């Protein structure tokens, strides 16, 4: 069920359990760990089309990759067709054969700018974005929500319009924009979209283990699933689906730390890995005390010393 290849615009994925784009987290080392654990396709953090156009250095850092990673998708957000096409054609996106357009982000700042989930209210513009980006020669996919709220569910119709505009795959988060990341996932709406289009559909929302994944795929008929927040607590969650052997928790954390240090400076590594440590330690005995110690740590070495104690036996 979980090692099924998906054809995305002529490219075959390694499996049908994907890592979601997670702002602030799915950097290169995080994606590598997910890939080694069996993720079928990984996505970069959400990147601004305008940021690429105007040469924002932080935006470029989000797109760091190497051939070691294999096929990876870049996620873009924006609402200007020409700017997004230009981004697709940019040197920074040259390593990414797949570009995913974000039409589901519920963050107020993004929504108020007419980007992310705001595009659900402007399907004509959403179509133009896809059509223009397709002209770049990239494989274009779209990630969107089922609507702004329960009174405005647009899943099947929006899916058809995205397919008609040239999208090669759709990822549907089964919650409305106003629910953000809480509440029940609407299986029926994802099913309606799956039945309305011929391109692959990936279901997203509420997957924290194999049982959740099986329910989401079985009840929606989706071609695969996408894992988001659960991967923050356990980047190796993909092992549960792929059958790949797990590293011990400390070993995985130390590996992620080492890979992060290779790319980023000490300050970024310290801040980022403190956050990761807080996720990794959830559920462990004395978790609150360890989290306090992690956030007081000043260097990667200090964090690693605490992690060795926190993750003993895991």
Work out the end-to-end distance of the chain between its first and last CA atoms, rounded to an integer number of angstroms.
Answer: 28
Cβ neighbours around 81 below 10 Å, total: 19
Q: What does the pLDDT look like over 196-208, one tens digit per residue?
A: 999 999 999 999 9
Tokens of 206: 């509420």
**87 or 61: which leads in pLDDT:** 87
Task: Give me the pLDDT at residue 84, please.
Answer: 97
Which contiguous run of DSSP H or E holds residue 19?
Answer: strand 17-19
Q: What does the pLDDT look like over 128-169, one tens digit per residue?
A: 999 999 999 999 999 999 999 999 999 999 999 999 999 999
Please tell me the distance from the alpha carbon of residue 207 to that of residue 218, in angstroms, as a whole number: 13
Count the helices and strands in the chain (H runs, E runs). 15, 10
Please tell me the distance from the alpha carbon of residue 51 to that of residue 108, in angstroms, as a whole number: 18
31 alpha carbon, distance to own chain's centre:
10
Which distant-in-sequence residues (6+ apart) come within 8 Å of 4 by Cβ? 15, 16, 223, 224
The helix/strand/coil state of 243 is: coil
Q: Give me the helices (H) in the chain, please.
A: 28-36, 49-53, 57-62, 81-88, 108-112, 123-134, 155-165, 187-196, 210-220, 229-233, 239-242, 249-263, 266-280, 287-296, 300-310
Q: Are strands 11-12 and 17-19 parallel, antiparallel or unpaired?
A: unpaired
Which distant-in-sequence residues (6+ apart) come within 8 Å of 67 by Cβ? none
Task: Give me the pLDDT at residue 61, please.
Answer: 82
Please tell me the distance from the alpha carbon of residue 295 to that of residue 177, in angstroms, as a whole number: 32
Q: What does the pLDDT look like over 256-296, one tens digit per residue?
A: 999 999 999 999 999 999 999 999 998 888 899 999 999 99
Of how many residues is the chain composed?
A: 314
Task: Give me the pLDDT at residue 267, please.
Answer: 96
Task: Give me the pLDDT at residue 314, please.
Answer: 63
Task: Give me the pLDDT at residue 180, please.
Answer: 85
- Vertex 40: Cα angle to 244 and 223 (nearest 5): 120
Task: Give me the pLDDT at residue 59, please.
Answer: 81
Q: 19 near 32, Cβ under 8 Å? A: no
Confidence check: pLDDT of 313 > 70: no
Q: 113 near 79, Cβ under 8 Å? A: yes
Cβ neighbours around 80 below 10 Å, total: 18
Please tell me the distance from the alpha carbon of residue 123 to that of residue 242, in angstroms, as a whole number: 36
Which distant-in-sequence residues (6+ apart) come within 8 Å of 7 by Cβ? 200
Task: Give me the pLDDT at residue 124, please.
Answer: 98
Confidence check: pLDDT of 57 > 80: no
Taking alpha carbons only, the member of 269, 240, 230, 268 closest to residue 253 is 269
Q: What does the pLDDT look like over 206-233, one tens digit per residue?
A: 999 999 999 999 999 999 999 999 999 9
The helix/strand/coil state of 43 is: strand
Confidence check: pLDDT of 44 > 70: yes
Domains parsed from the chain with CATH numbers: 7-242 (3.20.20.70), 249-310 (no CATH)
Task: Give me the pLDDT at residue 182, please.
Answer: 81
Range with the poorest average pLDDT among 115-119, 148-152, 157-161, 239-243: 148-152
Please tell me the distance from the alpha carbon of residue 196 to that of residue 184, in angstroms, as a whole number: 22
Task: Give me the pLDDT at residue 125, please.
Answer: 98
Q: What is the pTM of this model?
A: 0.94
Q: 124 near 154, Cβ under 8 Å? A: no
> Active-site residue numbers?
105
With pLDDT > 70 as the criterion, what percentage of the chain qualifies? 99
Tokens of 157: 């119709």
């Amino acid at each position: 069920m979980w090692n099924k290849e998906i054809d995305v615009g002529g490219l075959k994925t390694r499996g049908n359990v994907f890592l979601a784009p997670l702002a602030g987290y799915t950097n290169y080392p995080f994606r590598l760990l997910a890939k080694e654990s069996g993720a079928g396709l990984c996505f970069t953090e959400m990147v601004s089309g305008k940021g690429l156009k105007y040469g924002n250095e932080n935006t470029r850092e989000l797109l760091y990759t190497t051939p070691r990673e294999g096929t990876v998708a870049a996620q873009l957000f924006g609402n200007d067709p020409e700017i997004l096409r230009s981004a697709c054609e940019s040197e920074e996106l040259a390593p990414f054969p797949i570009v995913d357009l974000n039409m589901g982000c519920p963050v107020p700042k993004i929504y108020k700018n007419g980007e992310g989930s705001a595009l659900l209210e402007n399907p004509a513009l959403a179509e133009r974005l896809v059509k223009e980006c397709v002209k770049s020669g990239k494989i274009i996919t779209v990630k969107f929500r089922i609507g702004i709220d329960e009174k405005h569910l647009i899943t099947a119709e929006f899916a058809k319009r995205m397919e008609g505009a040239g999208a090669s795959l759709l990822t549907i988060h089964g919650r409305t924009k106003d629910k953000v990341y809480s509440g029940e996932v609407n299986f029926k709406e994802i099913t309606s979209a799956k039945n309305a289009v011929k391109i692959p559909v990936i279901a997203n929302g509420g997957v924290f283990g194999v049982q959740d994944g099986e329910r989401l795929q079985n009840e929606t008929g989706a071609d695969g699933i996408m894992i988001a927040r659960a991967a923050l607590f356990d980047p190796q969650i993909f092992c549960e689906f792929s059958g790949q052997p797990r590293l011990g928790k400390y070993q995985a954390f130390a590996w992620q730390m080492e890979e992060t240090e290779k790319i980023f400076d000490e300050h970024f590594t310290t801040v980022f890995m403190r956050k990761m440590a807080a996720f990794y330690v959830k559920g462990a005995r004395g978790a609150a005390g360890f989290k306090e110690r992690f956030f007081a740590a000043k260097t990667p070495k200090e964090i690693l010393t605490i992690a060795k104690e926190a993750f003993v036996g895991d």
